[in-house]
Amino acid sequence: MEIIKYLVLGIIQGITEFLPISSSGHIVLFKYFLDIKAGLTIDIFLHFGTLLAIFFVYYQDILNMIYFKDEYKTFNLYIIIGSIPAAVVGIFFEDFFEKMNSSLTVVGVFLIITGIILWLTNKITINKRKIKDMSVLDSIFIGLAQALAIFPGLSRFGSTIAAGLYKNLNRELATKFSFILSIPVIGGATLLKLKELTLNGTTDLNYFYLFLAAISSMITGYLAINFFLKMIKEQKLHYFAYYCITLGLILIFSL
């Protein structure tokens, strides 16, 4: 049934968006196998669902940012600065990277790169820096990692959390900064796609199916974030490396 396809895609989006295994790579793969043609429209609904999941998990931090409480004053600044690289890449190079989404081989290569990045996090042992110890250069470095994650198959959260750990941020801060840093990027990209959809018009789509896809991505996204936070606390981020490398090799040599 068609409705099952959209529910599955929503579940895949929710799980893979927040686990460091690349949502873009998996969505490309599942759209291919499920033969879903909604393209731009379903991307908007899926990303809106996962955006809500971040708000539900980090609502207290987001409120602190809105009211500029204590150390969140500088945290706000770092989020803004860290968002700039991805915004520049997304605005000026979107068409270039969109073409890559159709190549499963490219997805496979960057999944392997994601796996290597995740495996290397196991080698980082000293992570003690807190928000008060952060600098503008830290936010730029993590922001650049997020910008590079526009490559299909390269995990946004895997890259940004690894970048934060490399800069010796403590694990909780590296994770929190990574998730909240994604809000302007996911939100901005969703708005740009919505504008493009409005200008180009829509085809005959079932918006009930799209709504269900968004809800399923939100629920599974919320569960995935909490599972991922537990894995980070237990220092098991590198476990995802084996999955990414294996799937990457399968895509390169089997399809």
Residue with more model confidence, 174 or 127 = 174
Instruction: Confirm if 215 and 49 have CB atoms less than 8 A apart.
Output: yes
Mean pLDDT of 42-68: 92
Q: What is the CA angle 250-185-139, rounded to 5?
A: 95
pLDDT tens digits for 172-222?
999 999 999 999 988 887 887 777 767 766 555 677 888 999 999 999 999
pTM assigned to the model? 0.87
> Which pLDDT score is estimated for 107?
85
Q: Range of 250's domain?
A: 1-254
Place of tokens 């981020």: 237
Compute the distance between CA of residue 117 and CA of residue 115 in angstroms, rounded to an integer.
5
Number of domains making up the chain: 1
Contacts of 161 (CB under 8 A, 6+ apart): 20, 121, 174, 175, 178, 232, 237
State the pLDDT confidence band at 85, using cuts at 50, 70 and 90.
very high
> Which pLDDT score is estimated for 141?
97
pLDDT tens digits for 66-81?
998 888 999 999 999 9
> Which pLDDT score is estimated for 25?
72
C-alpha pair distances (Å), 106 with each of 144, 145, 226:
20, 18, 30
Instruction: Confirm if 238 and 118 have CB atoms less than 8 A apart.
Output: yes
* Average pLDDT value over all residues in the chain: 87
